[in-house]
Amino acid sequence: MTETMKEFDRKDFRTDKYVKELVQECVGGSELQQRKSKIHSYYDQTSSALKKHVYANYMQFIETAKEISHLESEMYQLSHILMEQRNLLGKLRDGTGDSKKDLGSDETAEEDADDTQSLVAIKTVKEMVPGFTGSLENKTFLNEGALIELDANDYRPIQRVFFYLFNDILIVCKVKHDKKLEFLTQYDPTKIAVINIKDLDGVRNAINIITPDGSKILQCVTVAAKNEWIEKFEIAFKFNQLNKTKKITASKSKLIERQASSIDTKSITSDALLTPTEETASVSENWAPEWLATASEEIQALIAQRHFEDALSLIQKSEEFLEKDSTFWNSAEIAGKIKNLKTELSNVLIHELSIYQNRNLQATLRSTRRPLKLLGEMGKARQACATFLKVCTSGIRSAQREARRNNLEVSELFFCDLAEVATEFMRAFKSQAACVSCLVVWCNTELRYFASQLVKHYLTKGSQLEAVAKCVEGVRAPCAKLNEIGLDLSYHMEGLLRGTLEQIIEESRVRMLETVGRTEDAWQPYNLQTKSNLKSLLRDMEILGLDMSSQVTGDTWINLTQSTVNFCRHFLSVTESCAYLAKIETLKLNSEILLKDIFLAQHAIKPNPGITVDLNFVSRNKSYLVEELLPVAVKKFEKLSGRKNEVLSDVHLQLRGPPKPKPRSVYQTDVL
């Protein structure tokens, strides 16, 4: 077939020509018909292939987008870590700057780096922003970037702006259509208040800055950019209060150092390096080997530079050495130092773990691997796993909150997250029995919390049974999936929801009983008015599992009352919900009783004595309920729940039993 269809792909393909040839080629109508159907099936194939392609591409696109957003949040974390590191180094420098002159050169280098960055920024402002005439001498550059200004009333974009933020000035430019910048205004950052807009009719990544001339809503490109602006504005605000004094002293000392010749600095540095070597050389073997004597400083440096693995291996090497030989005279001092450093390292690592709080869970799991592994090696698995689980708790819960606010599927998300945490946990701690039991306890706690949230937000009083069944069913599948990784939580989960579900079933039962037979029935056949109405009714019933075609009379009539027909529909859909709920063993009886009660209530409806009715027609309706509806409902229930419905089966037996004339006559003949 493909052979003939190749023609379609040819560039010079022309429909009229093709059809002409076809007509000439084919003999008789039937062959033409055949060709036509072939072409048609080719068309179907092509279109379904096209759909598949589009779908595959779409899925790939979604995957990629997800990955990008993960990467983005990881980048954000990295930049955060770098910032922290920088602050840490800054603190260290402040602390040691006075006592250790040899570090001075480092300091100068870093300050210089800062300065160069600022210089570069100042230069760009001068070049890019022609309208700006102020002086930027001696200012520290903090951040720059494009933002979109939104209308405060309807949040529509007004204009694109570009901000340059220095320690004591914010330069606001407009981005013109030719991408060039035009100076608009400038503010003193201490007169500005920045607000993180958490919820504003779905406007994303926006901040609000309150300036002396009113407040402005600004939208950033990404979350990361938004957080960076918030942070930088805060730095700018605090800059003048905190840094004024520090800056002056720092620049003074820098000046002095610069005046001293570079040779001087070098000789100081090399002196400092040489001293310990000479000392070790001059004394006998009773001293620690050189590498051990300097190990503590080395380890400290490694920790500060975040070379945790190296730090740990040096600690271990030192410990091993000390264990073998601790006869040299300062061994106790060194051992003490090493021990302290070990504690310090484990504290730093625990801190590393805990800073991931409130971040994206996937990114958290990925970035905690390294500290977890190291802590495991250091014998700190217990502490590590406690911190890790705490971080995961907050990750899972904030993801849940987010999902709930955006009306997304929470159950699947929860169990997927739980599974991911468990997998990651086992990867790190599977050899530690005590930790594994922590995981089990943790899972139970999270499960309990999740269940309480479900009850609070989705299983509230007065919920529709259908929605409730859907929700419970939605929990079941992903929960069962966890069995694959050896976590059996289904039973526990059901236990947590049982009480609430029992209440809801009981409440629904009472509510439904109230509505049965509420509308006065005239006991007349049901006229659907048009054929298509009838057809669609039959189709609806068929979907629910009930074939009503045998009840059709005439063109548009059903030989049952409207109330019976409506009840059939209602009853089958309630059966479906009940069957889902009855998958939980302990709820089976409750759901069966609900079904039984509403069925009996409908069955017991009697015609109003004030009107004349055809009694045959009344009993026709009743027997339809018993003979047709009930068996279908029982079967449906058993198929969906996988359990026998004894209660309804009993009802069936009872109701059809004695009053049936036919079986009795058979029985009588038997006796005779």
Partner 1 sequence: MSKKPTTGPALHKVIMVGSGGVGKSALTLQFMYDEFVEDYEPTKADSYRKKVVLDGEEVQIDILDTAGQEDYAAIRDNYFRSGEGFLCVFSITDDESFQATQEFREQILRVKNDESIPFLLVGNKCDLNDKRKVPLTECQGRAQQWGVPYVETSAKTRENVDKVFFDLMREIRSRKTEDSKSTSGRAKDKCKRRKLKCILI
Kindly list the residues in this chain that would bind partner 1 in the complex (CB under 8 A). 151, 153-154, 158, 191-201, 208, 210, 215, 230, 234, 237-238, 241, 358, 394, 397, 401, 405, 456-457
d(CA 235, CA 239): 6
Q: Please say which residue, 32 or 197, places its beta carbon nearer to partner 1.
A: 197
Residue 548 per-residue DSSP state: -
Q: Phi and psi for 152 in degrees, rounded to 5? A: -70, -20
Q: How far is the CB of 233 from partner 1 (least distance, A)?
A: 10
Q: How far is the CB of 183 from partner 1 (least distance, A)?
A: 21
Torsion of CA 578, 580, 583, 586, to 10 degrees: -40
Tokens of 10: 């040819």
d(CA 547, CA 540): 10
DSSP 474-522: HHHHHHHHGGGGT---HHHHHHHHHHHHHHHHHHHHHHHHHHTT-S---
DSSP 272-308: HHHHHHHHHHHS-TTSPPHHHHTHHHHHHHHHHTT-H
Alpha helix stretches (DSSP H) within 26-96 = 28-96
Q: Please say which residue, 448 or 620, places its beta carbon nearer to partner 1.
A: 448
Q: How far is the CB of 219 from partner 1 (least distance, A)?
A: 14
Q: Please say which residue, 15 or 241, places its beta carbon nearer to partner 1.
A: 241
Q: How far is the CB of 354 from partner 1 (least distance, A)?
A: 12
Do residues 298 and 284 touch, judged by C-beta distance below 8 A?
A: no
Q: In degrees, to the nearest 5, what angle opens at C-alpha 212 toward C-alphas 210 and 215?
A: 30
Q: How far is the CB of 167 from partner 1 (least distance, A)?
A: 16
Q: Please say which residue, 417 or 592, places its beta carbon nearer to partner 1.
A: 417
Residue 427 identity (one-letter amino acid): R
d(CA 80, CA 67): 20
Q: Please say which residue, 355 or 480, places its beta carbon nearer to partner 1.
A: 355
Tokens of 38: 């072939």
Instruction: Please name the residue that has the structure tokens 């990925």.
Output: 366
Q: How far is the CB of 171 from partner 1 (least distance, A)?
A: 19
Q: Please say which residue, 308 or 414, places its beta carbon nearer to partner 1.
A: 414
Q: How far is the CB of 165 from partner 1 (least distance, A)?
A: 16
Q: Please say which residue, 108 or 240, places its beta carbon nearer to partner 1.
A: 240
Q: How far is the CB of 199 from partner 1 (least distance, A)?
A: 4
d(CA 572, CA 121): 72
d(CA 32, CA 34): 5
Residue 408 identity (one-letter amino acid): L
Q: In degrees, to the nearest 5, what angle opens at C-alpha 511 toward C-alphas 510 and 512?
A: 95
Burial of 562: CB neighbours in 10 Å, binned 0-12, 13-18, 19+: middle
Q: Please say which residue, 241 or 282, places its beta carbon nearer to partner 1.
A: 241
Q: Please say which residue, 12 or 199, places its beta carbon nearer to partner 1.
A: 199
Q: How far is the CB of 397 from partner 1 (least distance, A)?
A: 8
Q: How far is the CB of 207 from partner 1 (least distance, A)?
A: 9
Q: Please say which residue, 404 or 643, places its beta carbon nearer to partner 1.
A: 404
Q: Please say which residue, 302 or 451, places its beta carbon nearer to partner 1.
A: 451
Q: How far is the CB of 356 from partner 1 (least distance, A)?
A: 13
Q: Phi and psi for 215 in degrees, rounded to 5? A: -105, 150
Do residues 564 and 625 touch, judged by C-beta distance below 8 A?
A: yes
Q: Please say which residue, 16 or 154, places its beta carbon nearer to partner 1.
A: 154
Do residues 76 and 360 touch, judged by C-beta distance below 8 A?
A: no
Q: How far is the CB of 582 from partner 1 (least distance, A)?
A: 31
Q: In degrees, to the nearest 5, what angle opens at C-alpha 300 toward C-alphas 294 and 301?
A: 90
Do residues 614 and 620 touch, judged by C-beta distance below 8 A?
A: no
The H or E element spanning position 472 is helix 465-481
Do residues 583 and 642 touch, judged by C-beta distance below 8 A?
A: yes
